[in-house]
Amino acid sequence: MVKKFALLVVICSLAILTALAGCQQAGEDNGKPEKINEKNEVHREQKNGEKENNDKEELVDIEETVQEETDTKVKTGDFVQFGTYYDAPVLWRVIDIDNDGDLMLFAHKLISRKPFDAPGDYHDEERRKERGSNYWKDSNIRQWLNSKEKDIDWIQNEPSEEVLQEVSVRSLSSLSYSGESGFLSDDNFTEKEREAIKPREHKVLLFETDKHKKDGGSEQHEIDFDGNGRIPPVKNFDDAYYQMVEDSVFLLSLQELKELVYDRGMKYRAKATEELVNKHPDKYPEDLDKLRYGSYYLRTPEHDSSVGVFSLREVCEPLILHNSVTSSITHIRPALKLDLSRGIIESGSGEKDDPFVVARCNVPPCQDTNSKRHLRCTKFAKKLCKLMLEQSLFVA
């Protein structure tokens, strides 16, 4: 068995080198000078011209195939399978595509149930010491979402069972996650998958307590609860205190949920994954068909409290409510930005039941502009990737 495994690794390595060699541009210097005279030059031009004419129809067919094989057309609203959590693939919805072609992915379901932040002496304000903080940049949930560590070195109060027991919220201690690997750890994402996640700098609104940390803005944000729509916007978004923060994985802001999901007619409500239900059977009904839509955190802080953030709550009207950062009923529904140029879409049509599947293995992309060679490399890469996945040989 060991010999068979070693042989397969050698074959895959040689195959990758072969593919890369096949992707090299033709006409590289072979070290031998070529005699050039007028007769040879004319003959060469005629021969090249004939070849170009003869290949025109064939190249058109090949280019169409290359388009089909390599340039999968992803659009807003499509579904993408990328990464894992609780040993199950994570399904995401494309909620935006930027000018570079990068995809904004929003988890289709509620993947976890965790407090936003833990109480403790790290916080300056007495209320935050007792209840936790709504300051996104230092929050426990932000650190967990962006960590690839097996054992997280927490920058502040750990969201441990002991710490959470001190908060007077029912069943909160069972939702501790200080001993859990980071969301981006090898348990959930391979190294190649992490490389395909593009860090995003975005605007995070601040509660007045934290305005001394601001990058801009001149006033406390206000929510337009009297406006039209079930998800209210921020009245003074452009003038509110804010900080620019870079994240690989994040929670949506209130403004993003409204503009990118709700206003575009996409499903904004979500249920827990089957894996999450099985992880916490005491918190969900035994019959999955009876599972209701759940609440989930946003990263926008409350406008009148230092210990609460906004969350989507299906049972209320409007849908957005203030929620404690140590809520025992609020879920995590992450978002991230995916750079498709760093990965290969193996299969799928983008439908919910047939999502685009992003390859997990370490296969170098083909950069050759020659249609024939590019096509050969692309087909080879996909076959090799599939083989490596079947044999659990993807490089983490």
Cα separation, 11 vs 366, whole angstroms: 19
> What is the tens place of the pLDDT at every residue in 280-327?
888 888 888 888 999 999 999 999 999 999 999 866 666 777 789 999
State how beta strands 103-107 and 88-97 pair.
Answer: antiparallel
Could you tell me if residue 52 is inside a domain?
Answer: yes
Tell me whether residue 154 is in a domain: yes
pLDDT in tens, 22-65: 434 333 334 433 443 444 444 444 444 444 444 444 333 333 33
Q: Give per-residue burial for 208-218: e unless 16+ CB within 10 Å, then b.
A: ebbbeeeeebe
227 and 323 in a single domain? The answer is yes
pLDDT of residue 341: 84
Confidence at 385, pLDDT banded by 50, 70, 90 = low
- Where are the alpha helices (H) located in 224-342, listed in sequence order? 254-256, 274-279
Same domain, 133 and 267: yes
Q: Are residues 15 and 49 in the same domain?
A: yes
Q: How far apart are CA 275 and CA 281, in angstroms?
A: 10
Please indicate, yes or no, if residue 355 is contained in any of the structural domains.
no
How far apart CA 236 and CA 303 sit, in angstroms, is 11
Min mean pLDDT across 151-155, 181-185, 366-370 is at 366-370
- Total structural domains within the chain: 2
Looking at the fold, whether 226 and 368 belong to one and the same domain comes out as: no
Q: 137 and 155 in contact (C-beta within 8 Å)?
A: no
Residue type, 240: A
pLDDT given for residue 39 in this prediction: 43
Residue 301 dihedral angles phi and psi, to the nearest 5°: -75, 155
Same structural domain for residues 93 and 228?
Answer: yes
184 and 297 co-located in one domain: yes
Which residues constitute the domain of residue 387?
Answer: 1-24+39-71+363-396
| Separation of alpha carbons 240 and 234, rounded Å | 9
Tokens of 143: 């650190």
Q: What six digits make up the tokens of 208?
A: 């007045």
Do the domain assignments include residue 237?
yes
- Of 332, 82, 334, residue with least CA distance to 194: 82
For residue 15, being part of any structural domain is answered with yes
On whether residue 357 sits in a domain, the answer given is no
Average pLDDT, the chain: 80
Which residues face 112 on adjacent strands? Answer: 332
pLDDT tens string 189-238: 999 999 999 999 999 999 999 999 999 999 999 998 887 678 889 999 99
239 and 301 part of one domain: yes
| pLDDT class of 13 with cuts at 50, 70, 90 | low
Cβ atoms < 10 Å from Cβ of 239: 15
- Domain co-membership, 113 together with 16: no
Residue 68, helix vs strand vs coil: helix
Count of alpha carbons within 13 Å of 344, Cβ hemisphere only? 24
Do residues 107 and 224 both lie within one domain?
Answer: yes
Give mean pLDDT, residues 373-396: 48
Half-sphere exposure of 236 (CA within 13 A, CB side): 13
Question: Alpha-carbon distance 212 to 23, whole Å?
Answer: 54
pLDDT at position 359, please? 85
Centre a 10 Å sphere on the Cβ of residue 2 and count the other Cβ atoms it contains.
6
Percentage of the chain beyond pLDDT 90 is 57
Specify the higher pLDDT residue, 48 or 361. 361
Same structural domain, 59 and 160: no
Residue pair 193/358 in contact by the 8 Å Cβ criterion: yes
Q: CA 43, 44, 48: angle at the middle one, nearest 5?
A: 120
Q: Which helix (H) or strand (E) holds 82?
A: strand 79-85
Q: Are 197 and 250 in contact (CB under 8 A)?
A: no
CB 264 within 8 Å of CB 95:
yes
129 and 234 together in one domain: yes
Measured CA to CA, the distance from residue 77 to residue 80 in angstroms comes to 10
What kind and span of H or E run contains 377?
helix 371-390
- In this structure, the strands spanning 88-97 and 356-358 are unpaired
Residues 286, 368: contact at Cβ < 8 Å?
no
Q: What is the mean pLDDT of residues 169-187?
A: 89
Q: What is the pTM of this model?
A: 0.76
Pair 150, 134 in one domain: yes
The answer as to whether 379 is a domain residue is yes
Half-sphere exposure of 139 (CA within 13 A, CB side): 32
Q: Among candidates 287, 284, 273, which has minimal Cα distance to 85?
A: 273
243: in domain:
yes
